[in-house]
């Protein structure tokens, strides 16, 4: 997979996590019964391990070592590590607010600013110039289906152009 990314030139490291990292995530230990996000007044949500549930309350030990007890509604299932930094969030097992925010935060921390959420391309503006807009990168997306390349505005625009050529009616692109 890393060899496939060479066609994107200097942009490759900003588009997809390295193969080594993907393999490590596939084999990381994970217990779906105890892995939860819990609300946190400082960080909004943090990862934690469910200790117990009773009487509508949940006790969670956060990865930071704090033990908190909250309403059961204030914990949210976590996705397995293989979904960390996933390119299309619609593929996540648990599609909840903390899972989406965590994925965007983790991708942004690695300077991967483009992510899909189903039909939508989500972009987190880094307020920094990244080498993801050069001719090499444009060329790498040309003529590829969306699923054949990492998330990028070039993929969206090239696909829109290709669809326009084949279906000359009812064309629109929504940018907000």
State the average pLDDT over residues 138-144: 95
Residues forming beta bridges with residue 61, ordered by sequence position: 49, 67
CATH superfamily of the 35-77 domain: Myosin S1 fragment, N-terminal (2.30.30.360)
Task: Give per-residue pLDDT as tens, 56-108.
Answer: 999 999 999 999 999 999 999 999 999 999 999 999 999 999 999 999 999 99
* Parts of the chain belonging to CATH 2.30.30.360: 35-77
Handedness of CA 63, 64, 66, 70 (dihedral sign): negative
Structural element, H or E, at residue 50 = strand 44-54
What is the pTM for the complete model shown?
0.88
Q: What percent of the chain has pLDDT over 90?
A: 81
Confidence of residue 175 (pLDDT cuts 50, 70, 90): confident
pLDDT at position 34 over 80:
yes
- What is the CATH code of the structural domain delimited by 3-28+81-167? 3.40.850.10
Residue 101 near residue 45, CB atoms below 8 Å: yes
Q: How far apart are CA 120 and CA 118, in angstroms?
A: 6
* Parts of the chain belonging to CATH 3.40.850.10: 3-28+81-167
**What is the predicted pLDDT for the residue at 176?**
74
């Amino acid at each position: 997979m890393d060899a496939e990314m060479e066609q994107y030139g200097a942009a490759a490291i900003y588009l997809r996590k390295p193969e080594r990292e993907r393999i490590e995530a596939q084999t990381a230990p994970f217990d779906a019964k105890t892995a939860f996000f819990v609300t946190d007044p400082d960080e909004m949500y943090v990862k934690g391990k469910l200790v117990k549930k009773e009487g509508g309350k949940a006790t969670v030990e956060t990865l930071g070592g704090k033990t908190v007890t909250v309403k059961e509604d204030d914990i949210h299932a976590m996705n397995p590590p293989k979904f960390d930094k996933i390119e299309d969030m619609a593929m996540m097992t648990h599609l909840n607010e903390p899972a989406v925010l965590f994925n965007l935060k983790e991708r942004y921390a690695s300077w991967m600013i483009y992510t899909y959420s189903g039909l939508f391309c989500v972009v987190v503006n880094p307020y920094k110039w990244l080498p993801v807009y050069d001719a090499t990168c444009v060329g790498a997306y040309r003529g590829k289906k969306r699923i054949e390349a990492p998330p990028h505005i070039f993929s969206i625009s090239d696909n829109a152009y290709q669809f326009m050529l084949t279906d000359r009616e009812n064309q629109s692109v929504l940018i907000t």
